[in-house]
Chains A and B, each alone.
Chain A
């Protein structure tokens, strides 16, 4: 009980002093001795095997998603980096990098196995980003819109699952996912603002990309 209170206090203090986009609370609190409340811990200690498996697969697919998004933006930057949309894509990429950092921390801390298909998502993401960027700025924005829509839908369904299960227990995790979902929706809206819909074959492209994302999510949850 006291430990939980101390954790909460540490959490509040670290939130107050660290700006919200610098999530180094883990590094800051690393020195505090005992095992159970060493740092700002997003997950509750698992109650049984089933819960651990569910949380594992959720975090695994989220990590794979952020990794893929990272590579997609890298591909887009490789083609469009030196054009006028370069800074915009770079900004969105930086936010994805932060998300990935955060998930890397969580996976390491909670001993979650990453998906075996990461090398595949590496190549596929980069290829997708580069190919859509070759269609021009509108193509890149259309790809962003499609992917971000998939990811925010996916985060929403995770939020729903957690809320249905036990919102009190998963408060920090819910907060994290909500924050990331809001970022992804922002990217989605940015893409729409920058003429995503004016790419020829927009609907076809969007449907194809979203189908690919759904398949990737399905596989990464399991493998």
Chain B
């Protein structure tokens, strides 16, 4: 199957740069891996188009070395980089079923690798095992420069995408009037619970994954995933605020999510009941705080109005209240 794909790819090499399509969906990989990949793909296509189709299709060793040599000669490639990005966009969505981009291949390998995580943990062994189930050689794991980080980030991105899809579906239902809209607190609780339940199959190895996400070179990506997830949840909860509340709400939800995740990792109750109870209490706290803040503001406004009234009365009494 993989050999067939490679053969077809060599045959279509004359399609040139335009043939490499980029998935329209949100990237699930580190951007530098993707860039390295584009360069590798370009080099391979360029070399394919130069040589005749009679040359045997490139093995993944070649891809790997091409990738390495391209990343070491990054300066020379920078002009090439600028162009391929725009051509990818023109071609987006226009990929044939037989032709697979490097990104799609990466996604397939990492998805297959997730099966082996409970057994091997979040590391290159799981990725190797995943690659082998797809019929690829274990050397194909060389394309993952970040190794375990790639795997964890892929998993996080996958879970977030699933969450967003479910929330969008629910939102659609509510819009069409087929479902009741939930109150904010309940909505947040359900969304966070749904997202955390996706960790259940990997809960034993999740502490390792969390520590991988905290590695300095993974922090930008993991923060980005976390902030987009929290933004999505609030968006579907109906938040359209355009003031400081935008920030306070997201900060609060990030805090809730992170602490609940930590509680879940060391929770041993049946079906994580304690975790959901903890989550419930935290959400109630936040909702209470929001209500209290509203009350304080209303009281403050009333007090200010009272003071203004008193001041105007004084001005009237002393005759200072004349139009200039």
Contacts and interface: CB of A to CB of B under 8 A. Distances in A.
Interface string A113-131: 1101011000000000000
Contacts of B242: 63, 103-104, 107-108, 114
A111 interface: yes
B89 A47 contact: yes
Determine chain A's interface SS by DSSP, over half rule: loop
Interface residues of A, number: 19
Interface in B72-96: 89
A83 interface: yes
A164 interface: no
A83 B247 contact: no
Nearest to A82: B323
A118 B323 contact: no
B258 interface: no
Contacts of B243: 114, 118
Determine chain B's interface SS by DSSP, over half rule: helix
A177 B274 CA distance: 52
Interface in A95-154: 103-104, 107-109, 111, 113-114, 116, 118-119
B311 to A, nearest CB: 13
Interface string B168-209: 100010011000000000000000000000000000000000
Contact of B175 (A33, A84, A107): A33
Interface residues of B, number: 16
B244 A118 contact: yes
Most buried by B among A33, A108, A119: A108
Contacts of B246: 113-114
Contact of B247 (A35, A63, A116): A116
B324 interface: yes
Interface string A84-95: 100000000000
Interface string A9-50: 000000000000000000000000101000000000001100
Interface of B: 89, 168, 172, 175-176, 231, 235, 240-244, 246-247, 323-324
